[in-house]
Structure 1
Amino acid sequence: MTPTIRRPLRRAGAAAAALALSLAAAACTIEDKDKATAPGAAPGAARTDTPGVTADSIKLGISYPDYAAVKSFVNIDQGDFEATYKALIDKINAAGGIQGRKIVPVFAKTSLVSPAAAQEACVKLTQDEKVFAVVNLMPGNAQVPCYTQTNRTAVIGSPLDPDMNAAGQAPWFSFDTGLIARKSVEAFAARGDLAGHKIAIATVSNDQAQTDAQVLPALQAAGITPVANGTITLNGADPAALGQQAGVLFQKAQATGADTLLMVGGAAQIIPQVLEKTTWRPRLLFTVVPAGYTTGKGQHDFGTLKDAAAGSQIVDWSDPALTACADTVTQADPSLAGKLVDPATVGGGAPTPGASMASACRNLALFKAIADKAGPTLDYTTFRQAGNSLGRFHIPGFREDANYGPNTPDGAIPVRATVYDQAGNQFVPAAN
């Protein structure tokens, strides 16, 4: 079976959420000057106490996105996160738990649109419930500092950024790289997608740091100087303003002779649907797969994606480890039989319970592996040491294994160039 492509924490539903939020609250400004790369943060002090661990239990915080808050923009249903986690945790506990300790889940629904509400969820898990670690399922990593820095609580998941991790005061391990933008550009350069082309950049303000710290240096290393650099600022404007200002970006890029438009982060979900209303057809490069766009079958002119390429960690939904998780969840809820599939294969607006299943499967697999390796004495010192020495480990559903070490807390799963397949309306691994 041909593997499908997906960034693990930015699935079709999460990408659709980013698209909805951006369309509801975006205007566009154009920036010509490169910004300096943000300096790295200083390491924080290690935590010496051990919250949430007893002789027979481990409290695990589970943060999951509240899509009800964006329902007026887009209808997203990724399934029942709590029921999914409970089914998989019950199986782990029935088999003896982790070193004889049962996992006790503590859930917190986290707002996508209210920073204050998201902060409340963080406080609930870290200060009120005092969990040992938090599985962070929010799109992106903006909430991680609340856990690893402010409240010194371990995190599993979220795109792992080295500088943000260095500033943390608790362990953070993931299978999702925070360097996706840089690694995508490097993959494009290796394929020859950049040389001889005039590159314009489009970024949403949330991802400006990626452009500054990752994309621009990677382009420079490849000998490429972008001819234009535009930023879409999320500031409460309406979709009409987005279209108007995006038009300015396109005009500027065309005036400089750009033939390739490189979209960073959330721009992948926004720019193509605006571009399709124009006659300009540059080649599109994405640092993430534009799943929120491609799942809108029947709504878009996918001619914008001709010859497009995207950076991605490659996922195979036929992987037995992922299938085993799907079987466990289906046994707990037989109504899900046949529904725990790749969200990319589900029509726009339809429920995608496979998204919650895959996230729970991967996060629990990584947490259990590290906590098991930490041994009978589970604290942040042994947990960090175990993660740093875990070595090669298979994350369910990934085609390539992770490899955890002191310098690879994100598992270093490779980012590959993928190309748009018009027949299947999806991105598939590039031939080279």
Structure 2
Amino acid sequence: MSATRKAYRAALLHSVADPADVGVEQSYQYFEDGLLVVDNGKISALGHAGDLLPTLAADIEVVHYQDALITPGFIDTHIHFPQTGMIGSYGEQLLDWLNTYTFPCEKQFADKDHADKVAKIFVEELLRNGTTTALVFGSVHPESVNAFFEEAERLDLRMIAGKVMMDRNAPDYLVDTAETGYTESKALIQRWHGKGRLHYAVTPRFAPTSTPEQLALAGQLLEEHPDVYMHTHLSENLKEIEWVKALFPERSGYLDVYDHFKLLGKRSVFAHGVHLCDSECERLHETESAVAFCPTSNLFLGSGLFNLPQAEKFKVKVGLGTDVGAGTSFSLLNTLNEAYKVMQLQGARLSPFKSLYLATLGGARALSLDDRIGTLEPGTDADFIVLDYKATPLLDYRIQQSNNIEETLFVLTTLGDDRTIRETYAAGRCVHQR
């Protein structure tokens, strides 16, 4: 037994509930000198080091991190793998940005060799930034999804991805048909869904680029495979919303388009949701659907400010998304920095413990995976990260001024970035070391 066990000693912090539901003080668990015990890829114990150390067998290795904090691995609920090479592209809003930068970049993923090369870069960036699970857009090409899943499988990562379904309002070189979108997606589900720690997401790009026939077949895929995910965009940009109204005049709104085609449900994640009305929030809650809050890309493309208090009021599940390549960083710490500012601009506050929740347990709940990831609870996957208090001279100096874990956590989410991630573990195995 002890040969598969290992223990990690450091400060430990994880969310146990949403601060909006239980209050800040009841939302987290913190051990200033903690011990995390990992057994065969799962967490088997956590608690005070002084309590647990005497219970360990003499031959169990204990790794002791000084000036460090262990948290669950970060969970990115919306990111585009094929847009890695166009991150930081200048000067457009959503629809022009897609035509100018995104579609030409995604064209390259018909080439499996290119997809393989980018998959390695993309996964390395995720792990370097402490992200252990992501909900990932591929391109329209099955090659892109195969490349991503092959790399994720090699490292035994818990990842979710899907082939884009897009049969209109895009360049000829980047469209499928309603039928090929269905058959190619079905083949990918059969190959990858449930293999190791991998999951498939049915992925219509967004309502304007799918015909009613394709959206109906996306709904059919969900009916045929009830444990797969559904991943798309919703109410990101005002011009986009007007376009949807023009394309689907018979529907009462953007969300109603997806609702009509049976695309809402407990494994459905809608990126952005910047411009939602109360009735749409009610419907998202009723169907257990989730929204991915993508502050960095919403600011970069000038799309608007996500109303987190509105989502909380209607108890909508919310995760955090980097939305690379419109988002300008793979780092969820950097994304939380932007999220705090988005709340400030609306006269609202984002507490450090709500930030932690969004990046970990909130993301896990958005993905209906909170029984497996998002916390340090015994029995869950040993996906965790080690944050270095001394990652930069400024971070080191500023944390020395901190009076408590709340202040330290806020400093990490405002000054932290990829350098803050000392090590990343997936299923108990170190997959990144700075």
Q: Does the alignment reach a TM-score above 0.5? A: no
Structure (1/2) with the larger strand percentage = 2
**Structure 2 length as normaliser, TM-score?**
0.34
Instruction: Return the structure number with greater relative CO, CA threshold 8 A, min gap 6.
Output: 1
User: Between Structure 1 and Structure 2, which shows a larger proportion of helix residues?
Assistant: 2
TM-score, normalising length from structure 1?
0.35
